[in-house]
A and B are shown apart, each in its own frame.
Chain A
Amino acid sequence: MGKTRISRGRFLKMVGTAGATGSALSVLAACQTSTTPQQSGGGGGGGNTLHIYNWAQYLAPYDIKHFEKKFGMNITQDTYSSNEELLAKLQGGGTGYDVIVPSDYMVSIMAKSKVIQKLDMSKIPNFKNVSKHYRGLPFDPKNEYSVPYQAGTTGILYNKKKVGRVETWDPLWDPKFKGKMAMINDVRETIGAALMRRGYSENSTDPRKLQQAKQDLIKQKPLLQGYFDSVENVPMVRRGDIWLAHVYSGDGFLAIVQDKNLAYAIPKPGATLWVDNLCIPVGAPHVDLAHKFLNFILAPKPGAALTEYTDYSTPNQAAVPLVHGKFTKIPQWDPSGKVYDRLQTIRDIGKATRTYERIFTEVKSS
């Protein structure tokens, strides 16, 4: 079990969601309970240690070693398993972290709630390495608060032999594949898929469009095995229990590398692009060093080492040629510009979150 690496802390997310949200809303400065998987150097004195608050297994040991050597500092890490947990801990204030790794929509929430600070871009010259597809995304249009860290899409993992080629969301609604499909048990991703299938924005709050998406999902439900986490869907596809599954790209790539009958599609007309970002919280003890870290990750070699460790896509263009590994052969790992044009990011929709929740409950209990 220990060898199966699941990127982006989803493993913990499944088990620890409860605990996560708990510690989430608590204001505990207590990271005593957190694990520090890649902690090195034992943490030393607070003076020369960079504190990173990150998803589990989301920073390459190579990067830690080289950053420590270059700047003569130690890195310590604590991990969280949901954006909500991260938010709540920071809202409590004074947690002592220097660098955090929120996902897209959470960056805008955090900027609005004033828990992250504006970056000094003059200290991050390597920002020039960031691909244009990852600059100025809607959650941080001017890159005032964040630089992109790792990214991926949410699409369809499928068995080529059984279903042929998949290009759109429609196969997931095809009665031919009844009982051979599964969606992600996530409000935003699954309602988003239904919206995008109709060519709408996955952040739509238009009642008419949401109504259509709801009806579509209710129609789809009898065709599905069920709603699961992305990591749960992957083994079912590999065993042949199902042929099509809604998954996160990295999880899909891990399966494709081991089974050549499988493929991953970024469906038309639209699919989710998610981006995890590096930010500096308000009140960080080592602001200067934190900037150095952001700049370090955007350099070619450290960026390549990171993505080889996570299997996700890198927004760091300069790192792409240096990345080695079977997964780099998968076309969707580094999508072309045309593909990017149809990708959407999940945005904070405020109060409408409740409407989404209700729709998803209605779909699942229809």
Chain B
Amino acid sequence: MAKDKGKGWSPGLAGLLSPVTFWLGLFFLAPLLLIVAYSFGTAGVYGGMKLGFNTNNYAQIADPLYLKILFRTLVIAVLTTLLCLVLGYPLAYFIAFRSRKWRNNLILLVMIPFWSSLIIRVYAWVVILSGNGIANHALQFLGITNGPVNLIFTPKAVLMGMVYSYLPFMVLPLYASLESFDVSLKEASQDLGANRWHTFWRVTFPLSMPGVIAGSILVFIPAAGEFVVPQLLGGAKTTMMGNLIQQQFLDARNWAFGSALSMILAVVLLVAIIFYVRRVGTDKLEVG
């Protein structure tokens, strides 16, 4: 500990930190501040921004139309997160309690889709769900439907695409927390006469909470900001916040409103995360 440099800023520390200060300051914080400034500005009809203190952009969000879009975005993001959790947990659980050799191979199989392109993963569903695609053939073959039905360009297709895209984000942290799990606790619980279900809920699940939290955040954030999937699988009929923001920036030339929407999205997500971590995190503390 003798080498810890107290609270001061030594030249060495400044040297280590100056690149990150420069890069994130200039290319992360400064742009965010610019958006904050723009969100109080006024956009000209032909583009261009006038700065000022105009709270209209925020007042506009009270419009039921935009509130509805915000609400829908959160609902879709929460549903995606829940579905990923419900599907991802058994998978991570299963993998985590295999022998080492199996574990590694099984988790690699989860990672491969994650390492390949996100756009390709969404595109695969375009192929499957399209008009006369595989899914429709399968439904007809199984006698569930008579003719082709509309599968693509529906809210369900959007949800499906998002769950598929983000499932690996849930499984990886869950796996990491379960894998480092001390099995003796589970044994102890079972030795003490708890049945497996009981053991799972009282011991295993609470101990995997860090994984649940990390996985949920990793899925929820991109899901709430999503704009590709609603376009490719939703036929632009399921507008989410991401689509609205993009539209304000790229079509409507209203950067002020687009900036305000971005700020609102960022703040809502931040609050949601803090709330979630507090809520779920406390439970964990109680048990642990």
State the A residues within 8 Å of B (CB).
17-18, 21, 24-25, 84, 87-88, 91, 109, 113, 179, 182, 185, 187, 221, 224-228, 236, 239-242, 350-351, 353-354, 357-358, 361-362, 364-365
8 Å CB contact of A88 from B47, B130, B246: B47
For chain B, the count of residues having a C-beta within 8 Å of the partner chain is 30
Hey, which chain B residues are within 8 Å of A357, CB to CB? 247-248, 251-252, 254
Hey, which chain B residues are within 8 Å of A109, CB to CB? 46
Q: A241-B131, A350-B45 are in contact. Are A365 and B72 (CB under 8 A)?
A: yes
Q: Mark B105-141, 1 if CB is under 8 A from A, else 0.
A: 0000000000000000000000000111000000000
A226 close to B251 (CB less than 8 A): no
B131 close to A354 (CB less than 8 A): no
A240 close to B132 (CB less than 8 A): yes
Give A25 to B254 CA distance when docked, in angstroms: 12
14 A-B pairs with C-beta separation under 8 A: A21-B249, A21-B250, A25-B47, A87-B46, A221-B237, A227-B237, A240-B131, A353-B45, A353-B252, A357-B248, A357-B252, A361-B244, A364-B237, A365-B239
A224 close to B237 (CB less than 8 A): yes
Hey, which chain B residues are within 8 Å of A25, CB to CB? 47-48
Q: What is the CB-to-nearest-CB distance from A76 to chain B, in angstroms, rounded to a whole number?
A: 27
Give the contacts of B42-70 with A (CB-CB under 8 A): 45-48, 65, 68-69
The 8 closest A-B CB pairs, nearest first, are: A226-B235, A241-B131, A365-B239, A227-B236, A357-B252, A226-B153, A179-B150, A226-B237
Closest partner residue, chain A, to B69 (CB atom): A365
Q: What is the CB-to-nearest-CB distance from B260 to chain A, in angstroms, rounded to a whole number?
A: 14
Give the contacts of B211-253 with A (CB-CB under 8 A): 234-239, 244, 246-253
Closest partner residue, chain B, to A362 (CB atom): B65
Hey, which chain A residues are within 8 Å of B237, CB to CB? 221, 224, 226-227, 364
Q: What is the CB-to-nearest-CB distance from B252 to chain A, in angstroms, rounded to a whole number?
A: 4
Give A71 to B248 CA distance when docked, in angstroms: 45
A358 close to B236 (CB less than 8 A): no
Give A187 to B250 CA distance when docked, in angstroms: 12
Q: A227-B236, A357-B254 are in contact. Are A239 and B47 (CB under 8 A)?
A: no
Give the contacts of B148-162 with A (CB-CB under 8 A): 150, 152-153
Q: What is the CB-to-nearest-CB distance from A16 to chain B, in angstroms, rounded to a whole number?
A: 10
Q: A225-B150, A227-B237, A239-B132 are in contact. Are A17 and B250 (CB under 8 A)?
A: yes
8 Å CB contact of B130 from A84, A185, A241: A241
B236 close to A228 (CB less than 8 A): yes
Closest partner residue, chain A, to B243 (CB atom): A364
B65 close to A187 (CB less than 8 A): no
Give A236 to B244 CA distance when docked, in angstroms: 25
Main SS of the interface on chain A?
A: helix
Hey, which chain B residues are within 8 Å of A364, CB to CB? 236-237, 239
B153 close to A225 (CB less than 8 A): yes
Hey, which chain B residues are within 8 Å of A113, CB to CB? 46
B47 close to A185 (CB less than 8 A): no
Give A221 to B45 CA distance when docked, in angstroms: 28
A225 close to B235 (CB less than 8 A): yes
8 Å CB contact of A361 from B47, B235, B247, B250: B247
Closest partner residue, chain B, to A24 (CB atom): B47
Hey, which chain A residues are within 8 Å of B252, CB to CB? 187, 353-354, 357
Q: A88-B47, A225-B235, A239-B132 are in contact. Are A365 and B65 (CB under 8 A)?
A: yes
State the B residues within 8 Å of A (CB).
45-48, 65, 68-69, 72, 130-132, 150, 152-153, 234-239, 244, 246-254
Closest partner residue, chain A, to B254 (CB atom): A354
Give A241 to B250 CA distance when docked, in angstroms: 29
Q: What is the CB-to-nearest-CB distance from B191 to chain A, in angstroms, rounded to a whole number?
A: 56
Give A362 to B69 CA distance when docked, in angstroms: 9
Closest partner residue, chain A, to B47 (CB atom): A25
Give A225 to B150 CA distance when docked, in angstroms: 8
Closest partner residue, chain B, to A187 (CB atom): B251
Q: What is the CB-to-nearest-CB distance from A168 to chain B, in angstroms, rounded to a whole number?
A: 24
Hey, which chain A residues are within 8 Å of B234, CB to CB? 226
Q: What is the CB-to-nearest-CB distance from B278 to chain A, in angstroms, rounded to a whole number?
A: 32
Give A224 to B153 CA distance when docked, in angstroms: 9
Known: A227-B235, A351-B45. 9 other contacts (CB 8 A): A18-B250, A88-B47, A91-B48, A187-B251, A226-B234, A226-B236, A361-B69, A361-B244, A365-B69
Give A25 to B250 CA distance when docked, in angstroms: 11
Hey, which chain B residues are within 8 Å of A91, CB to CB? 48
Give A353 to B248 CA distance when docked, in angstroms: 12
Give A358 to B68 CA distance when docked, in angstroms: 13
Hey, which chain B residues are within 8 Å of A242, CB to CB? 131
Hey, which chain B residues are within 8 Å of A221, CB to CB? 237
Q: What is the CB-to-nearest-CB distance from A237 to chain B, in angstroms, rounded to a whole number?
A: 11
Q: What is the CB-to-nearest-CB distance from A136 to chain B, in angstroms, rounded to a whole number?
A: 24
A239 close to B131 (CB less than 8 A): yes
Give A185 to B234 CA distance when docked, in angstroms: 12
Most chain-A Cβ atoms within 10 A of its Cβ — which of B46, B65, B150, B152?
A: B46
Closest partner residue, chain B, to A364 (CB atom): B239
Q: What is the CB-to-nearest-CB distance from A182 to chain B, in angstroms, rounded to a whole number?
A: 8
Hey, which chain A residues are within 8 Å of B45, CB to CB? 350-351, 353-354
A84 close to B244 (CB less than 8 A): no
8 Å CB contact of B239 from A84, A224, A361: A361
Q: What is the CB-to-nearest-CB distance from A357 to chain B, in angstroms, rounded to a whole number?
A: 4
Q: What is the CB-to-nearest-CB distance from A91 to chain B, in angstroms, rounded to a whole number?
A: 8
Q: What is the CB-to-nearest-CB distance from A41 to chain B, in angstroms, rounded to a whole number?
A: 35
Q: What is the CB-to-nearest-CB distance from A242 to chain B, in angstroms, rounded to a whole number?
A: 8
Q: What is the CB-to-nearest-CB distance from B225 to chain A, in angstroms, rounded to a whole number?
A: 15
Closest partner residue, chain A, to B48 (CB atom): A25
Closest partner residue, chain A, to B249 (CB atom): A21
Hey, which chain A residues are within 8 Å of B254, CB to CB? 354, 357
